[in-house]
Amino acid sequence: MALQASPEYERRIGIWYYATTIEGVGGTIKSIPADFVVREVTNRTEGADGKYLIAELTKENWETHTVVHELSRRLRVSRNRIGFAGTKDKFALTTQKISLWDIAEAELDRVRITDVSLKVLGRSSKAVALGDLHGNEFIIVIRNLEGDKEAIRARLESITAELAARGGMPNFFGVQRFGTQRPITHTVGRYMIQGDVKGAVLAYLRDIFPEESEEIKEARQLCQTGEYKACLKRMPVFLRYERAMLNELVRGGEELQDDARFRAALAVLPRNLQKMFVHAYQAYLFNLIVSRRLERGLPFNEALVGDVVCYHDERGLPDPARVERVTETKVDAINRLIRHGRAFVTAPLIGSETAFAEGAEGELEREVLQAEAVRVSDFQLDNLPDLSSTGNRRPILVPVAVTLSELVEDERNPGRWSVRLDFFLPKGSYATVVLREYTKR
């Protein structure tokens, strides 16, 4: 059966196809935050001693960085004294561990934040950090399913079976990586990789997306014609990054050369956001490579001669630092490891030191770069050296075992159905990429 094409909003972030061929069930996700439950899984155990107080943070409808900022304000300590392993969805009910340096349990007990709870787990001599994250458990409700109950059930089960037969789902970067309402980060990153700082700044300021409000669209239109002062006046206050960049452009006036003005505008953004632009472009290229592999029918859970695989770490997770090119003499042995979950076919997160695969796999990787008119050497940013990237590898397939609940009548939409999906994903993989296979929208 032919591949189903993705909708336009996914194609613009490099996701061209669905991996499963069964018709989707439609429906709605995230009707309420509690429909999207995320529980962090770490490899940490806490004790009774240490300078770090370890707590379990449960939040609803809060973005991780925002709630950490609010917590630091309430405790009157630096934001840098609070550690966490990963950011979690805002419109969701999420649970994760945090560490607080040199904070007493009694101090934390006095903090009260709406829709946030904190449970002390113990103490440690080590802060909670990214390396602690194993993955996330998800409990997600799809609501508003229309049609015959048994027919919906059959489709859900067929999609689950097809994912199992494939060995999992393509490990696409989800839309959150690029901006849910305004997927612009990879576009800005492309300009930065090409050395076009002015293009990067203007793309961030003036590119318009249908999902934006009329007020924002009108402001961006003024920027398109170079009316930066007028654009600044119209730009909503909550778009603080746009306003900061526009302030810099306006302040530059005629005294600065164009290039210097735009470099100054880019420099007002936090460094981690600037790095995010480059990383998002790498994610976009990865999605394109995976899409082409799907298009050409190349396997995901089987290595071909010329592929690059990575091996598992002590926790059974893919370790991109341990890679090997597949040769004719090793292909059978490596595929046995893949079948046992001990090795994984990868694609590149393109960087200045990327070594392409060989064979048909390598050809499509090169084709993606040629179509984008970029080279691996472009990721060595001479004008922004600390934003340079040497690249990495990422598995093209992520195993996922989805458990389906019984369909029940949706209490929010009488006459329609809802279903719950339970599954685990390793860190760096996206629940929305699983859900898209079921909803096909």
- The whole-model pTM stands at 0.93
Residue-wise pLDDT tens digits, 332-387: 999 999 999 999 999 999 999 999 999 999 999 999 999 999 999 999 998 888 89
What pLDDT does 199 receive? 95
Q: Are strands 93-101 and 36-42 parallel, antiparallel or unpaired?
A: parallel
Judgement on whether residues 211 and 280 belong to the same structural domain of the protein: no
- Domain holding 307, by residue range, is 273-398
User: Pick from 114, 91, 98, 90: which is nearest to 57 by CA?
Assistant: 98
What's 419's domain CATH number? 3.30.2350.20
Does 429 have pLDDT greater than 80? yes
Residue-wise pLDDT tens digits, 2-25: 899 999 999 999 999 999 999 999
Alpha-helical (H) ranges within 131-270 are 149-166, 185-193, 197-206, 214-224, 228-234, 240-252, 258-267
What percent of the chain stands above pLDDT 70?
98
313 is catalytic: no
What pLDDT does 256 receive? 60
Residue 63: inside a domain, yes or no? yes
What's 113's domain CATH number? 3.30.70.3160
What pLDDT does 253 receive? 62
Judgement on whether residues 372 and 328 belong to the same structural domain of the protein: yes
Judgement on whether residues 358 and 322 belong to the same structural domain of the protein: yes
Q: Which residues contact 2 (CB under 8 A, 6 or more apart)?
A: 21
For residues 289-304, give the mean pLDDT: 97
What's 207's domain CATH number? 1.10.1510.30
Judgement on whether residues 232 and 105 belong to the same structural domain of the protein: no
Does 328 have pLDDT greater than 70? yes
The pair of structure tokens assigned to 17 is 């196809």
**What distance in Å separates the CA atoms of residue 389 and residue 3, rounded to the nearest whole number?**
33
What percent of the chain stands above pLDDT 90?
88
CB 356 within 8 A of CB 348: yes
CB 88 within 8 A of CB 427: no
Residue of 35, 89, 132, 307 with catalytic role: 89
pLDDT band at residue 254 under the 50/70/90 scheme = low
Number of residues written out for the chain = 441
**What distance in Å separates the CA atoms of residue 185 and residue 178, rounded to the nearest whole number?**
5
Judgement on whether residues 258 and 280 belong to the same structural domain of the protein: no
State the total domains in the chain: 4
Residue 108: inside a domain, yes or no? yes
* Average pLDDT score, the chain: 94
What pLDDT does 410 receive? 86
Any idea what DSSP says for residue 56? E
Judgement on whether residues 100 and 249 belong to the same structural domain of the protein: no
